[in-house]
């Protein structure tokens, strides 16, 4: 039982921290939601898979497919789900491109511009979120990105929102002063190679 002031203060601080994360974690994850800079919580974690589901829909996959439902029900950055999405994007592209009469990269009827296929799902953490918005730049805190030797790491700051809630995944931005910084990733499983 919590009877003394110190124990109550500690328990209150822990509860407040959990409530702060919970209040900000459950953010918009609908497939039709617009990408917003400065998102946090589930919205940043599911962005890659949400964009992958949109790509599948644009390639003619039916919205009732189990893979699309899995994306709709996801609230984290699920690598297994991302692999299934990427495999399905490649399969659908290959099937369509095998048809000589395909229109995958034809002209858009409305704009007259060449059609494109969004391959963002092949990038780990494309919107660049930090697992914990209060922590620094590391490969664990900003998954998918590496920092090659010979370059400085960029400095991280939580942009647009300054929530500064420990444990809350959040979009972030970077800065460097008086020097170069570099972060990169190699994408090896694109339909046309690396």
pLDDT value of position 62 = 95
25-29, 57-61, 87-91, 142-146, range with the lowest pLDDT: 25-29
Q: Looking at per-residue confidence, does 28 or 133 come out higher? A: 133
Q: Looking at per-residue confidence, does 91 or 194 come out higher? A: 91
Q: Give residue-wise pLDDT tens across range 101-127.
A: 888 888 888 888 988 899 999 999 998
Among 5-9, 66-70, 116-120, top mean pLDDT goes to 66-70
Whether 136 contacts 130, CB under 8 Å: no
pLDDT value of position 22 = 78
- Least Cα distance to 51 among 96, 113, 118 occurs for 118
Whether 123 contacts 185, CB under 8 Å: yes
For 30-50, what is the mean pLDDT?
84
pLDDT value of position 1 = 58
- Least Cα distance to 71 among 127, 33, 115, 117 occurs for 33
Q: What are phi and psi of 97, to 5 degrees?
A: -70, -20
67 has a pLDDT exceeding 60: yes
pLDDT value of position 187 = 92
Q: Give domain limits for the chain.
A: 38-175
């Amino acid at each position: 039982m919590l009877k003394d002031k110190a124990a109550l203060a500690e328990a209150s601080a822990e509860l407040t921290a959990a409530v702060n994360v919970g209040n900000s974690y459950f953010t918009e994850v609908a497939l039709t939601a617009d990408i917003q800079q400065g998102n946090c919580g589930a919205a940043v974690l599911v962005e890659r898979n949400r964009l992958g589901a949109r790509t599948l829909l644009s390639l003619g996959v039916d919205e009732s497919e189990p893979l699309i439902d899995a994306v709709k029900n996801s609230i984290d950055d699920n690598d297994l789900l991302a692999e299934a999405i990427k495999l399905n994007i490649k399969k659908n592209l290959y099937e369509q491109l095998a048809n000589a009469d395909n229109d995958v990269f034809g002209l858009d009827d409305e704009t007259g511009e060449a059609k494109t296929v969004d391959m963002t799902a092949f990038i780990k953490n494309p919107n660049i979120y930090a697992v914990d918005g209060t922590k620094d730049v590391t490969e664990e805190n900003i998954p998918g990105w590496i920092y090659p030797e010979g370059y400085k790491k960029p400095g991280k700051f939580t942009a647009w929102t300054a929530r500064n809630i420990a444990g809350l995944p959040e979009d972030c931005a970077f800065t460097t002063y008086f020097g170069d910084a570099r972060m990169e990733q190699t994408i090896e499983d694109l339909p046309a190679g690396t």
